[in-house]
Amino acid sequence: MSAATNLASARGPAPSAPARRGVNAWLSHRAAKPIVFAASLLPFAWLLYGAIANTLGANPAEALIRSLGDWTLRFLCLTLAITPLRQATRWHALARLRRMLGLFTFFYASWHLLAYGWLDMGLDPGEIAKDIAKRPFILVGFSAFVLLLPLAATSFNRAIRWLGAPRWQALHRAVYAIAGLAILHFFWMRAGKNDFAEVAVYAAILALLLGARLWRRLAIKP
């Protein structure tokens, strides 16, 4: 039995053809993207309301920074889940949402960085640079953001044509490094409070998603 066959067997039975057609039809509908876009903005709207209404707790600045970081990690998980889920379920229209979710990962990461620079550092470039050099978890998080920048900048069809598919794919494999750095950043950030349960959950999800992608890549090799 081939590796590809083993992989298909391990996934279990695929959804029935009518179910696949129904989900694909919904995902292919022109309303699907606006609905996902609006839903992806809801966490930001909720945090913005909380900041304005002062309902984020005793330390609203810390709550805002951490919540934006949490949503960055959640959208990273959602983005990485698209390909394995599409392959396992044959809901091929899911691919339409991958770019949007990836850009929302960048959106929340940008606001996370901006909130830190503004609320913690007063937008002082010198102080921000010193803090990045002094605190490893800030350096790791900033490194993840720097790696995310070219992925966001090349997430358009024109960039794919300009770079060529092989080089574009090679560049976007940086998502593996970004995921690792994001988990390390999250781990170090929580280390002071000895709160590792949530870190373990995200680490397990990302390991599963990245492992599925790697397994698929190895399985389809001749």
Contact of 181 with 142, CB cutoff 8 Å: no
- Provide the domain count of the chain: 1
Q: Which of 31, 33, 65 lies closest to 50 in space, CA to CA?
A: 65
71: its two tokens: 């949503």
Chunked into runs of 10 residues, the chain (222 residues) has average pLDDT values of 40 52 78 94 96 91 94 93 85 89 96 95 94 93 96 90 87 88 87 73 85 72 55
Query: What's the whole-model pTM score?
Result: 0.84
For 193, half-sphere exposure in the C-beta direction (CA atoms, 13 angstrom radius) is 9
**pLDDT value of position 157:** 85
Rounded to an integer, what distance in angstroms lies between the CA atom of residue 199 and that of residue 144?
A: 17
Q: How far is residue 38 CA from its own chain's centroid?
A: 17
Give the count of beta carbons closer than 10 Å to the beta carbon of residue 165. 9
Q: How far apart are CA 137 and CA 207, in angstroms?
A: 20
Which residues have CB under 8 Å from 27's CB, separation 6+? 91, 93, 94, 96, 97
Task: Render pLDDT for 152-177 as a digit per residue (tens, 0 to 9).
Answer: 999 888 888 898 888 888 888 888 89
pLDDT of res. 21: 66
Tens digit of each residue's pLDDT (9 = 90 or more) over 51-63: 999 999 889 999 9
Domain span at residue 135? 3-219
Please report the pLDDT score of residue 166 as a whole number: 87
